[in-house]
Amino acid sequence: MTTSKPFVGRKKILCDEPVIHMGNIESVLQDALSVHLINQGEIDYLYNYYKGKQPILHREKHIRPEINNKIVENRAHEIVSFKTGYLCGEPIQYISRGDKKELSEDIGALNDMMMMCGKAQKDRLLAEWMYIAGIGVRMVIPNDKYIENEVVPKLRTGRTDFLKDEAPFDLYVFDPRYAFVVYYSGPGEPPVLGVKITQRKDNRYIISAYSETDYFEFESQGLWNLQLVRAAKRTFGGIPIIEYLLNNARQSPIEVVLPILDAINRVQSNRLDGIEQFIQSLLVLVNAEVKDEDAKYIQEAGLIVLKSLGGENRADIKIIAEQLDQMQTQRLIDYMHQTILDIVGMPNRNGKNSTSDTGAAVYQRDGHSDAEARAKSDELMFKESERQLLKIILNILRSTVGTRLTLADIEIKFTRRIYENSLTKAQIFDMLSRNPHIAPSLAFAVSGLFSDPEDAAKLSEEYYEKYKREQRELEKQGKLMREGGDVFD
């Protein structure tokens, strides 16, 4: 029987050193690598499973081995694709917390920098790894070329008109099989070391390790016998490699349902075997003997020779033809598929139509509310790591192009289903914007009508100011015409 390995999530890599320095880096890194190799093997298995390399492909059949279908119904890919698209289908935006109009320009500049770094595409890749492996890994480092060639020369002359074709930082998403974070085992378990593994063509490994203040580079063969080749002080603080967790168990949705996914593959493969075996039904000869060598040849064409014991020795030929009950098989597959959807929190497509159903009823019945609840839970975990990213980015910005933003000023905004329930959202926006006790920026943010509420509020305010100026001009012209008409009369 071909079944998947039992997985219970990735192990968190801990060490007993609160500070990493030259004296303990090698021992900490060596211990961390031994744990990471276990995680690496599990992630590799899950990634191959997602791509369609599943246990059913190694299926062996001992009875009629010539009929051995190996069907991969890749529901794992369906789960990951849906979850990734649902969470990051629209770009993640930053908005200001509260009604701080003076920070609107800085928030807009931060969103522009993220766009120039291709953050929306990298967020999607990060989420994909989270749903495959339970963890994703991101890195942020200063854009040394831009800072050296553009920022530093102008800062020396007191100028701040920096070119906005690039951001002063770069973002990367790593394969979690080759990157990880080490945490201190004390209270709070803060990160103390970020590690990136690079394999060269000659099978040498380059291991880059980042502590709060230092950078270490090792070379090794097979990730053992580490040799330190470089050590340097880092300009900006913080661990630049950040893990994004899907849950505390670091477990992906596909590994929770691996046994059921394997069962669906087995049922579908056996189902097709049953159809082929029905078509290639066996002939049975009763009391009609043939030579052994002839029987062997005939058996390859689907013939079995039998000899009855006792009774009338009447020769006979029959066909064994037992067809699989396709209806019952389909019910089993539908049940297993629905169970998968219930466990991972995905909507189904099997809802029955009813003239009495409202949009909200369909939303509840077909599991969309479950999908939204799971996505909100995933958002909370994502935001926790995103704040660590923003903390480092703001530190880079303050030291280069400058910013007035603090971490407390920024709210991370996920946007989904922009065009669903548009009328309801428009009504909410209208009610909030009419209330004099509610800031207009809150109406833009809370209604969910706009993918970038900060930018929408800014554009709307500019448009409204322009509209008021035009109205004043028209009133002024109308007044002059009336006064001129009175004089003429």
What does the pLDDT look like over 45-88, one tens digit per residue? 999 999 999 999 998 888 778 888 899 999 999 999 999 999 99
Is residue 346 within 8 Å of 203, Cβ to Cβ? no
Cβ neighbours, 10 Å, residue 315? 10
pLDDT level of residue 473 (50, 70, 90 thresholds): confident
Is 405 domain-assigned? no
227 and 242 together in one domain: yes
181 and 249 together in one domain: yes
pLDDT at 350 over 70: no
212 and 283 together in one domain: no
234 and 271 together in one domain: no
DSSP three-state, residue 452: coil
Distant-in-sequence, close-in-space partners of 261: CB < 8 Å, separation ≥ 6? 4, 49, 54, 75, 76, 254, 340
Is 199 domain-assigned? yes
Is 413 domain-assigned? no
pLDDT at 188 over 60: yes
Tokens found for residue 446: 């809370």
Is 66 domain-assigned? yes
DSSP three-state, residue 232: strand
Is 82 domain-assigned? yes
81 and 172 together in one domain: yes
At 488 the pLDDT is: 46
Mean pLDDT of the chain: 85
233 and 265 together in one domain: no
Is 394 domain-assigned? yes
299 and 246 together in one domain: no
Distant-in-sequence, close-in-space partners of 429: CB < 8 Å, separation ≥ 6? 443, 444, 447, 449
At 21 the pLDDT is: 94
Percentage of the chain lying above the pLDDT 90 cut: 47
CA distance 211 to 231: 11
334 and 455 together in one domain: no
Q: Which residue has the higher pLDDT, 121 or 439?
A: 121
The helix-helix angle for 75-88 and 368-399 (nearest 10°) equals 60
At 484 the pLDDT is: 66
Q: Which of 342, 364, 399 is the last residue of a domain?
A: 399
425 and 468 together in one domain: yes
Q: Which residue has the higher pLDDT, 53 or 6?
A: 53
Across-strand partners of 316? 286
pLDDT level of residue 463 (50, 70, 90 thresholds): confident
Highest mean pLDDT (candidates 83-97, 223-237, 383-397, 429-443): 383-397
168 and 132 together in one domain: yes
100 and 195 together in one domain: yes
How many CA atoms within 13 Å lie on the side-chain side of 46?
33
Is 338 domain-assigned? yes
Average the pLDDT over 441-466 and give the result. 79
Of 10-19, 164-173, 453-462, which gets the smallest average pLDDT?
Answer: 453-462
Which residues constitute the domain of residue 167? 14-256+373-399
Q: Which residue has the higher pLDDT, 22 or 368?
A: 22
Tokens found for residue 115: 């766009």
At 357 the pLDDT is: 55
CA distance 84 to 131: 7
What's the DSSP call for residue 57? G
Going by DSSP bridges, is the β-strand pair 303-306/282-286 parallel, antiparallel, or unpaired? parallel
pLDDT at 461 over 50: yes
Average the pLDDT over 393-421 and give the result. 85
pLDDT tens per residue across span 270-295? 888 777 776 666 566 666 666 667 66
Average the pLDDT over 428-432 and give the result. 87
Is 148 domain-assigned? yes
314 and 392 together in one domain: no
Average the pLDDT over 93-121 and give the result. 86
Count of domains forming the chain: 3
Is residue 39 within 8 Å of 47, Cβ to Cβ? no
pLDDT tens per residue across span 352-398? 555 455 555 555 556 678 888 899 999 999 999 999 999 999 999 99
